[in-house]
Structure 1
Amino acid sequence: SFSVLLRDDEDTFKILIATDIHLGYLEKDPVRGNDTFVTFNEILDHAQKNDVDFVLLGGDLFHDNKPSRKTVHSCLESLRKYCMGDRPVQFEILSDQAVNFHYSKFPWVNYQDENLNISIPVFSIHGNHDDPTGADALCALDILSCAGLLNHFGRSTSVEKIDISPILLRKGRTKIALYGLGAIPDERLYRMFVNKQVTMLRPKEDEDSWFNLFVIHQNRSKHGATNYIPEQFLDDFINLVVWGHEHECKIAPFQNEQQRFYISQPGSSVVTSLSPGEAVKKHIGLLHVKGKKMKMEKIALETVRAFHIEDIVLADHPDLFNPDNPNIAQAIQAFCMEKV
């Protein structure tokens, strides 16, 4: 239900939503090398200025599985600048954090660590670019998590069965069950859903009083018979799905008629491919949740480099392009340069 919330108060969660930041993309490019870092700073600056309760990221914070020293350093620099400070965090965690963060040596949320001074907690699942690899199954997010600057959640360690246990948050009278599932190869996850091997656990008490928020990083559009996750696979008790991985910005929540939940697809904050979806204006979201009601505010990103894409059919210009012309390559080049 999308009712306009009258005002922000002690019962209202304010959550900054972003995904697919791809830190380090084209970092060696002399012109575009710093684009991802500049936009990440803009995102965190919006979080600070809007006085959000926490930041929620939907995967692919890093572009490379083993990000460079420069990329990791820049990320740590930004998180330390914007997310540490004396501002008190206004919500509490009700779930068993040893379950939520069981793969960490520090299984608790960073703002409750007495050795750290966190003003804006950041929660993130991993994407397919920065997923856990190697014998120790570590990913770049684990470095940020170990440093106490980010809370990595939604990690599944079993290939037989996935039990998604939510992080239970409470602010005043509003309660959020935050579910996350880091990227898993689509065919495998599709098969696990079909075989009923994926379970989303519900809170034991007053399960209908929770706002259920689910973050996922998989193919949403169909790339093959099983190379995506159909929306109807997801449980119908969910209120809002934040769908990462897809780069086109469709951040305004859209209702799935069959399951009745809403889906927000924030899209990436940087262009990484020459596709029409990437040309859509990039946004992040400011999600307000009060009780079971929500409102998504779109925030346009101003530091994203302009990107335009257009198809040109040479056959539509027979007067300009004659196949028999030996200088046709130069003619096409001149035509394209004029377009640009």
Structure 2
Amino acid sequence: MKFAHLSDTHLGYRQYGLQEREDDFYYTFNNVVDNIIEERVDFVIHSGDLFETNRPSPKALLTFQEGLLKLRKANIPIYGITGNHDTVLRKGFIPPQALFRKLGFRPLSAKRPSYLEDDICITGVPYLPKSMKPLLMKKIQEASKKAEEYKKSIIILHQGIDKYLPFDYELETGELPTNFNYYAMGHIHNYINEPYGNGKLVYPGSTEIWKTNELKDYQKNGKGFVLVDMSGDIPETERIKIDLPREFIKKTVSYNKLLAELQELKNNIIKLKTKPLLDITVEEGNFSTQEAFDTVHKVLDEYTSYIRPHFYPDKIKEELEIIQNEKTLEPRQLIIKKMSELENEDVNHLAVDLFDNLSKNKLPESEKIAENFFNEYFGDNGLKVSEEDIKKEMETIGVFKTEDD
């Protein structure tokens, strides 16, 4: 008995507002489905954030339907839960996954918290926020009690654990029951595979690069899904890597050699099949950020899909070094010092940019900075359509067509 475990596909995510990035997420999902079918698995588990929002675009719905029909044709059922992105916490509303029950998707919910696949109990709890932790723990304990009735069991969760997500977690290390054979986790986009309880706890990670802070893990572990063999006492796992349709390059260059290094970077980019995403940092030397910005875009705009530049002139680095070595009560310096302790550069820039603008009473500029950050990290990137628009579009393209159609 073996199955495929994937998570955080985020169908419909239009990264940086680019249609081509939305299409990349669809392409990768289709690639994952094809690879799963080639592996001849008995079933599939999806541990949340199938869609980017709980009101997916028609194209996102259609992409999932097409993948589902492929799995159905191969006689491979798929079990899953909702994540924080596609959960609907309002009473009376159903998540988008529920639309596909008749096509082979088997959602785990309050009404149907478990299934039986051969002799394996598959149970799970849809995402619940930290504010609802008592309910989350109650549901997990109920799932644990159910699992005791069977020799082998799997629990599906879309929650962060403090050991892996120290700033935004719902569960603390050791709070999970230990009687499951496999912990099919979602929510964390990096690949994690560790022993826990009677088996293994696995985050397969996202199938595409959703944020730049995933690049380090991507370079080490790639993106894809996990193949799990439940034949033995302890599950055996294999990481199946999937080629992404577009490279995401992170590069640091010296301003003192800016043109030469940009030209070298351009020569390497030209060799790629598709235009990459570029996260570039310019440092060394006291320079105008506007001049550096213009130079980077003039040289590389034509050859890249999107550029995210960061600039660190010597004066800013010197300021940071002084702050780190001396005690200070100056607000801006305290913010820079505190933010430098975090790994997320985007949050660092957000904090400093907001302070600089708010301290000068630049409210419109501050609102724009906050709005751009929110849209990139949490928004639906232009996918705000009415239910009527969705209904008309679905009827036009035939989203709910049957396999015979």
List gaps (5 residues or longer) in structure 1.
1-12, 88-118, 158-163
| Displacement after TM superposition at 1:34 (Å) | 1.1
2:110 to 140, 144, 156: 156
| Displacement after TM superposition at 1:203 (Å) | 7.2
List gaps (5 residues or longer) in structure 2.
259-282, 305-405
**Distance (Å, rounded) in 2 between the aligned partners of 1:75 and 1:136:** 24
| Displacement after TM superposition at 1:205 (Å) | 10
**Distance (Å, rounded) in 1 between the aligned partners of 2:78 and 2:62:** 17
Q: Which residue of 1 aligns with 2:206?
A: 268
Checking the alignment, whether the CA contact within 8 Å between 2:147 and 2:153 is kept in structure 1 is no
Q: Which residue of 2 aligns with 1:84?
A: 72
SS at the partner of 1:61?
A: coil
Q: Which residue of 1 aligns with 2:23?
A: 34
**Distance (Å, rounded) in 2 between the aligned partners of 1:143 and 1:261:** 33
**Distance (Å, rounded) in 2 between the aligned partners of 1:180 and 1:167:** 9
Aligned pairs for 1:1-340 within 5 A: 13-26=1-14, 29-80=18-69, 82-85=70-73, 119-145=75-101, 147-153=102-108, 155-156=109-110, 165-170=113-118, 175-189=119-133, 191-192=134-135, 198-201=140-143, 207=149, 210-220=151-161, 221-224=164-167, 227-250=169-192, 253-256=193-196, 259=197, 261-275=199-213, 276=215, 279-280=218-219, 281-309=222-250, 321-323=284-286, 327-331=288-292, 334=295
**Distance (Å, rounded) in 1 between the aligned partners of 2:235 and 2:143:** 22
SS at the partner of 2:64?
A: helix
**Distance (Å, rounded) in 2 between the aligned partners of 1:263 and 1:72:** 29
Checking the alignment, whether the CA contact within 8 Å between 1:282 and 1:304 is kept in structure 2 is no
The Cα offsets for residues 72-101 of structure 1, whole Å up to 9 and x where unpaired, read as 122212222x1233x5xxxxxxxxxxxxxx
Checking the alignment, whether the CA contact within 8 Å between 2:46 and 2:78 is kept in structure 1 is yes
| Displacement after TM superposition at 1:148 (Å) | 2.6
| Displacement after TM superposition at 1:266 (Å) | 0.2
Flag the structure with larger Rg.
2
| Displacement after TM superposition at 1:19 (Å) | 0.4
**Distance (Å, rounded) in 2 between the aligned partners of 1:188 and 1:204:** 22
Identity within the alignment, %? 22
Q: Which has the higher contact order (CA 8 A, sep 6+)?
A: 1
The Cα offsets for residues 166-220 of structure 1, whole Å up to 9 and x where unpaired, read as 32322xxxx322121111112322x4467x674234678984x622211110122
RMSD of aligned C-alpha atoms?
3.5
| Displacement after TM superposition at 1:282 (Å) | 0.7
**Distance (Å, rounded) in 2 between the aligned partners of 1:122 and 1:200:** 22
SS at the partner of 2:212?
A: coil
Checking the alignment, whether the CA contact within 8 Å between 1:279 and 1:307 is kept in structure 2 is no
| Displacement after TM superposition at 1:278 (Å) | 6.0
Checking the alignment, whether the CA contact within 8 Å between 2:144 and 2:179 is kept in structure 1 is no
Change over 3 Å in CA distance of 1:297–1:130 after alignment to 2 = same
TM-score (norm 2): 0.58
SS at the partner of 1:31?
A: helix
SS at the partner of 1:48?
A: helix
| Displacement after TM superposition at 1:50 (Å) | 1.3
Looking at secondary structure, tell me which structure has more helix per residue: 2
**Distance (Å, rounded) in 2 between the aligned partners of 1:165 and 1:212:** 13
Checking the alignment, whether the CA contact within 8 Å between 1:271 and 1:278 is kept in structure 2 is no
Checking the alignment, whether the CA contact within 8 Å between 1:57 and 1:124 is kept in structure 2 is yes
Checking the alignment, whether the CA contact within 8 Å between 1:17 and 1:286 is kept in structure 2 is yes
**Distance (Å, rounded) in 2 between the aligned partners of 1:125 and 1:216:** 8
**Distance (Å, rounded) in 2 between the aligned partners of 1:205 and 1:144:** 26
**Distance (Å, rounded) in 1 between the aligned partners of 2:4 and 2:39:** 9
**Distance (Å, rounded) in 1 between the aligned partners of 2:186 and 2:86:** 13
**Distance (Å, rounded) in 1 between the aligned partners of 2:52 and 2:3:** 24
Change over 3 Å in CA distance of 1:309–1:214 after alignment to 2 = farther
SS at the partner of 1:16?
A: strand
TM-score (norm 1): 0.69
| Displacement after TM superposition at 1:25 (Å) | 0.9
